[in-house]
Copies of this chain bind each other. A is one copy, B any other.
């Protein structure tokens, strides 16, 4: 009987997960079955540099554990998801465009030393892919690709039901697939990457450029004339009320996103492509043109099984995936 009790879900030690994004940090305690025992947000304040961010993260973790009366020794593991190019084997953030100053930060061992617990570190888009696969829209599938559509575009790949990691155990940088060799410059130094053509930043940039060319739009009033404040979200809100300029800016991003997804279908022949990140909230306005493009342009035999769907877990995909990673690996 004792053995049986120990094997029920409530007896299994929970995992502490942290998702460090460019804007905010989510800290959560999750059961192995994906029940949220505790959850808290704080601002990243990334421009204060890694040391400050890590210190505030530690304070927030300690406070959350104290509030919930969880001792760190009761935890099974800690799992951290962050933006950037992660060396999973070494537990390093090698570089992270949205976390300035995070160059070769050995975050895994820093956390491991403080809490004396098995600690994991992975890329946030990889975590989101794993989260949607284990607890979200992709449950039970073998092959799934997730794109996080936000300021940038990240990617995670599930193959044979497991997170795909390559030779150096790092993430898929699908956002930096070149789809327009002669296209605009990308932050990565290359030209015509998917990210620079189809991210939220691309949508806002396109809208602002059209305004600067003198086109009329309701967007200007929405931001009280402060054109630089226009974001992909503002453009979306104007688009659903029929603003033609906003509809065009989103259609242009959807066109390029469609080409990117055609490439992924032709290369991976996946069961599902999941769209996460803030832009996924645009729903069918963004996804329907992508589905049309895939129907029109991918090889029919490769495209026939694929479903192109929005993510289900929203901002929490990363914490669920980070938990799954700690439980799996």
Chain A residues at the B interface, C-beta cutoff of 8 Å: 85, 87, 94-95, 142-143, 155, 157, 159-160, 164-170, 172-174, 176-183, 188-190, 192, 256, 259, 262-263, 266-271, 297, 299, 301-302, 304-306
Q: Which of B168, B262, B270 meets A302, CB within 8 Å?
A: B168
Find out whether the CB atom of A178 lies under 8 angstroms from the CB atom of B263: yes
Find out whether the CB atom of B170 lies under 8 angstroms from the CB atom of A269: yes
Q: Which of B159, B179, B183, B304 meets A159, CB within 8 Å?
A: B159
Known: A164-B159, A259-B181. A176 touches B266 (CB 8 A): yes
Q: Which of B160, B174, B180 meets A181, CB within 8 Å?
A: B180
Return chain B residues, CB-CB under 8 Å to A143: 166-167
How many identical chains are in the complex?
2
Find out whether the CB atom of A269 lies under 8 angstroms from the CB atom of B159: no
- For A87, A166, A167, A190, the residue with the greatest tally of chain B CB atoms inside 10 Å of its CB is A167
Report Cα–Cα, A142/B157, bound state, in Å.
Answer: 16
Return chain B residues, CB-CB under 8 Å to A263: 177-178
Q: Name 21 interchain pairs, CB-CB below 8 A, sorted by A.
A: A85-B299, A85-B301, A142-B167, A157-B267, A159-B159, A165-B269, A166-B269, A167-B269, A167-B270, A167-B271, A167-B305, A168-B302, A168-B304, A170-B301, A170-B302, A172-B266, A172-B268, A178-B179, A179-B180, A182-B182, A182-B183
Find out whether the CB atom of A301 lies under 8 angstroms from the CB atom of B262: no
Closest B residue to A177 by CB, please name it. Answer: B263
Report Cα–Cα, A93/B98, bound state, in Å.
Answer: 46
Closest B residue to A92 by CB, please name it. Answer: B301
Q: Which of B172, B173, B268 meets A166, CB within 8 Å?
A: B268
Return chain B residues, CB-CB under 8 Å to A157: 267
Find out whether the CB atom of A269 lies under 8 angstroms from the CB atom of B172: yes
